[in-house]
Structure 1
Amino acid sequence: MNIFRLAGDMTHLLSIMVLLLKIHATRSCRGISLQTQELYALVFICRYLDIFTRFISLYNTVMKLVFLGTSLSIIYFMRFHPTVRASYDKEQDTFRSVFLLVPCAVLALIINQERTAIEILWTFSIYLEAVAILPQLVMLQRTQNIDNLTGNYVFLLGTYRGLYILNWIYRFMTEPNYRQWIVWISGVLQTGLYIDFFYYYFLAWKSNKNLQLPA
């Protein structure tokens, strides 16, 4: 494992910890898209099915369990915890996720590396992760009231994707047979979705003002 992969994993984990901190410390999920959280949970479930059939390393197994557990716990709090659920702004979280799920499923059936159920579900998870942040970004544009923890959560998610691009570049330069076009193209697309957010995040940080996205 190279430093970029490790840094990416730790940044991803930190983003989830920031979100859990927000929920537990404030007893609120205001500004958080439940749809995005459910899409990420679906990503992890489809991608980590091999946890039952293939052992790669203790680190790999632990990280998979952590991402699955934390993702499902966030959904539990947003759906069933009385105080947290009451703070969820459902009226602002109206992105139609079916417009993401169906194209990703069709694309996974058409373009994949191996026509097996596990491989198709893994490919579906790659496509879906590339666009799963869209309901969250749309919700932030609508609310126009982004607290620091929510802004930091999205920023860390975007940083994680950027670090993974560096990981792929490093592996391409050091591993002669490393080619993963589906992962690369999906990852670049996903990172591109954060560019506008990064711009306004750094403007807010530089001016020491609250983060606001243009409607």
Structure 2
Amino acid sequence: MYNTFMKFVFLATSYATIYLIYVKFKATYDHNHDTFRIEFLILPSLALALLINHYFNFLEVLWTFSIYLESVAILPQLFMVSKTGEAESITSHYLFALGSYRALYIFNWIYRYATEGHYDPIAIVAGVVQTVLYCDFFYLYITKVLKGKKLQLPA
């Protein structure tokens, strides 16, 4: 019951987020700087999911695709930050929270392996890739934002 309820909550908040992005806050979209081509993330993630998965069935390939895509999904935001050379305060805090959430998974993997002997190489490799993508941002966040400065990339 809890799992089903949480899935509905997740879907409802996802739909609400999509509504807010495309309807309520549409005017805040930065067309000039958002030039990242998402097919460069989607197509390799799909190809990798078709080639490397636990079992070759529809749901397993979809799950694997979502894991691979999640690991690189932050690239458009990081690309936008690198293109503009700076990030709003709320954006930098958001990116730090996302990176921290992913980095905390490492402790979960260690705990699960120590207590259950369980590990998922697909999730671990994708999670490490995602965490590595955040490392440069973490350095800038710690050296700039936590000292009260605006996040600007070095020239």
Q: Residue 205 of structure 1 corresponds to which residue in structure 2?
A: 145
Deviates more, 1:150-159 or 1:201-210: 201-210
Residue 44 of structure 2 is aligned to residue 125 of structure 1: no
Contact 1:92 1:142 survives alignment (8 Å): yes
Q: Residue 184 of structure 1 corresponds to which residue in structure 2?
A: 124
Q: Residue 15 of structure 2 corresponds to which residue in structure 1?
A: 72
Q: Residue 114 of structure 2 corresponds to which residue in structure 1?
A: 173
- Once the two structures are superposed, residues 157-191 of structure 1 have per-residue CA deviations (whole angstroms, 9 ceiling, x without a partner) of 00000111110011111112x12000000000001
1:208 positional shift: 1.5
Q: Residue 44 of structure 2 corresponds to which residue in structure 1?
A: 103
Partners in 1 of 2:7 and 2:153 — Cα distance? 33
Any residues of structure 2 matched to 1:1-215 within 5 Å, and which?
58=2, 60-81=3-24, 84-176=25-117, 178-214=118-154
- Once the two structures are superposed, residues 23-66 of structure 1 have per-residue CA deviations (whole angstroms, 9 ceiling, x without a partner) of xxxxxxxxxxxxxxxxxxxxxxxxxxxxxxxxxx61x4344333
Partners in 2 of 1:133 and 1:199 — Cα distance? 16
Partners in 2 of 1:130 and 1:79 — Cα distance? 24
Q: Residue 21 of structure 1 corresponds to which residue in structure 2?
A: none
TM-score (norm 1): 0.67
One-letter identity of the residue aligned with 2:33: Q
Q: Residue 50 of structure 1 corresponds to which residue in structure 2?
A: none
Contact 1:131 1:190 survives alignment (8 Å): yes
TM-score (norm 2): 0.92
Partners in 2 of 1:102 and 1:72 — Cα distance? 24
Tell me how large the CA RMSD over aligned residues is: 1.6
Partners in 1 of 2:31 and 2:13 — Cα distance? 21
Partners in 1 of 2:125 and 2:41 — Cα distance? 17
- Once the two structures are superposed, residues 121-180 of structure 1 have per-residue CA deviations (whole angstroms, 9 ceiling, x without a partner) of 00000000000000000111122342221111110000000111110011111112x120
Q: Residue 5 of structure 1 corresponds to which residue in structure 2?
A: none
Q: Residue 30 of structure 1 corresponds to which residue in structure 2?
A: none
Partners in 2 of 1:105 and 1:75 — Cα distance? 23
Percent of aligned pairs sharing the same letter: 52
Unaligned runs of 5+ in 2: none
1:206 positional shift: 4.2
Contact 2:109 2:119 survives alignment (8 Å): no
- Once the two structures are superposed, residues 72-110 of structure 1 have per-residue CA deviations (whole angstroms, 9 ceiling, x without a partner) of 3222222122xx211110221111110111111111111
